[in-house]
Amino acid sequence: MLSLHQSRAAHDEEYEDLLGLWGDLESGLSVLLARPLHVQDFPGKVRQFDQWLQDLVTHDIDAALYLMFQLAATSTVGYSTSHALVCGTLCHIMAREFELPANERNALVRAALTMNIGMTALQDELAGQREPPSSAQKDAIAAHPLRSQDILAQLHITNDLWLDLVGQHHARVSERTPLSQLSPVDRLTRVLGTIDRYAAMISPRKSRAGRSTTDSVRELVGKEVQERDEVGLVLVRTVGLCPPGTFVRLDNGDTAVVLRRSDKANMPVVASLLDRHNNHLSEPQLHQTASGKPRIQSSLARNAVTVELNHRTMVRLGLYAAHRSTHLVTQPAALG
C-alpha cells in the first residue's frame, strides 16, 4: 500500500503529466491545422488527437475544463487552434450528455476540430487585428465552411456526416424544433453552432476582450422561455455558469479562479487569488461556495484579472478540495 507521501508524489507526477499532455495536444493540433496538406495520413492523425482528447477528459473532466479554458485564454499557438480545442472538448462532453450514438459523436467532435481548416491563418490574423474585417476577409469568412469541406475531401476524409457538418457549420437551424426531431446533420449543426458561438464569445481578441462566461451564457440561452436554446441550457447545466478555469468575483470582494464543479449546480469550488483591494494573497484560499459563504457575485473576463497562475498548483489544489468534505479557507502547506 502506498504511504501518504508516496500517494501525494504519485498524484504530483500524474498531474504534472496531465499539464504536459494538454500542452502537447494543443501543439500537435496546431501543426495539423496549419499545414494539413503536408500531413501524412491526415484522417488517422485526427482520430489520434480525438482519442487523446477523450483520454484526457475521461481522466479528470474538471481538470480538463480548467486547463482548456486557461489555455484558450493564454494560448501561444494561435487563436484558431485553441478555439478548435475548446470546441472539440465541449462537443465531446455534450455528446455524452445527449447520449449521441458513436457515429454522430465522432462526426461532431472531428468536425469541431477541423471546421475552420480552410481559414486557419486568417482566423489567427483576425484575432490579432484591431480593425474590423476587410471586404476580402469577409468574403473568405463566408466561403470558409465549403473551403474547409473541400480541403477535408482532398485529405481523404470520406465520412459524409463529418463533411456535411463542416460544410454547414455556420447554418442556423431552428431552435424551436427539439433536437430529437431533427435529422442527424441538423441536430449536430445545432450543437456545434452553439458551442462555436460560446467559445468565440469567451475568447479574447485584439479587437475586443473576451466576455465573461455569464454574459456569454445569457446571450446563448436567451431570456424568454420560447427563445431558450436546448443546447445552451444543457451546456450550462453540464459545465456550469462559471466553469473550471474561469474567473469570478466573490461577495467578500475577492477575485478567485474556479477549480472544480460541485454536486450543487453553479456552486463550484474556487480559490481566492486577490483580496478586495486587488492585493495578491500569500496563498490561494479555497472556498466551497456550495457551503454558503462566500458566494459568487459575478464572473469576470480574463482580461479583467491581472494575475499569473501556476496551473500545476491550481489543478492539485482542486483535486485536494475534491477529496475534502469540510469547508477550507487556506491552502495546506504540503501543497505549496
Domains of the chain, CATH where assigned:
9-239 (1.10.3210.10), 241-336 (no CATH)
Give backbone dihedrals phi and psi of 249, rounded to 5 degrees, phi first.
-100, 130
Predicted TM-score (pTM) of this structure: 0.85
Among all chains, which residue has been given the C-alpha cell 483580496?
275
Predicted confidence (pLDDT) per residue in 164-199, tens digit: 999 999 998 888 889 989 999 999 999 999 999 888
d(CA 23, CA 19): 6
What's the gap between Cα 92 and its chain centre?
11
Predicted confidence (pLDDT) per residue in 229-244, tens digit: 789 889 888 888 788 9
pLDDT at 15: 60
Out of 57-66, 73-82, 150-159, 278-287, least confident range: 73-82
pLDDT at 1: 36
Highest mean pLDDT among 90-99, 239-248, 255-264, 303-312: 90-99
d(CA 54, CA 113): 13
Query: Are 33 and 120 spatial neighbours (Cβ–Cβ below 8 Å)?
Result: yes
Tell me the average pLDDT across 62-91.
86
Cell numbers for 319, please give them. Answer: 483535486
Predicted confidence (pLDDT) per residue in 199-221, tens digit: 877 665 444 444 555 565 555 55
pLDDT at 202: 66
CA nearest neighbour of 118 among 86, 141, 96, 94: 141
pLDDT at 137: 92
**In the predicted structure, residue 298 carries a pLDDT above the cut 60:** yes
User: How would residue 7 be classed by pLDDT, with cut points 50, 70 and 90?
Assistant: very low
**In the predicted structure, residue 326 carries a pLDDT above the cut 50:** no
Tell me the average pLDDT across 66-84.
81
Backbone angle region of 176, left / alpha / beta, with phi > 0 → left and psi within -120 to 50 → alpha:
alpha
Backbone angle region of 292, left / alpha / beta, with phi > 0 → left and psi within -120 to 50 → alpha:
left
CA nearest neighbour of 73 among 297, 273, 304: 304
Out of 152-156, 272-276, 303-307, least confident range: 303-307
pLDDT at 328: 41
Out of 52-56, 144-148, 269-273, 322-326, least confident range: 322-326
**In the predicted structure, residue 8 carries a pLDDT above the cut 50:** no
- Burial of 228 from C-beta contacts in 10 A (0-12 / 13-18 / 19+): middle
Cell numbers for 310, please give them. Answer: 501556476
The mean pLDDT of the chain is: 83
Which strand (E) or helix (H) includes residue 233?
helix 230-239
Predicted confidence (pLDDT) per residue in 134-160, tens digit: 999 999 999 999 999 999 999 999 999
Among all chains, which residue has been given the C-alpha cell 479587437?
207
CA nearest neighbour of 111 among 125, 121, 100, 126: 100
**In the predicted structure, residue 226 carries a pLDDT above the cut 60:** no
User: How would residue 106 be classed by pLDDT, with cut points 50, 70 and 90?
Assistant: very high
Question: How many Cα neighbours within 13 Å face the side chain of 149?
Answer: 16
pLDDT at 2: 32
d(CA 247, CA 289): 14
Give backbone dihedrals phi and psi of 286, rounded to 5 degrees, phi first.
-80, 140
d(CA 74, CA 96): 27
Tell me the average pLDDT across 270-275.
94
Query: Are 175 and 190 spatial neighbours (Cβ–Cβ below 8 Å)?
Result: yes
User: Pseudo-torsion of CA 104, 82, 210, 54, nearest 10°?
Assistant: 40
- Go through 274-297 and write b for each residue having 16 or more CB atoms within 10 A of its CB, e for each that does not: beeeeeebebbbbbbbbbeebebe
Q: How many CB atoms lie within 10 A of CB 98?
A: 18
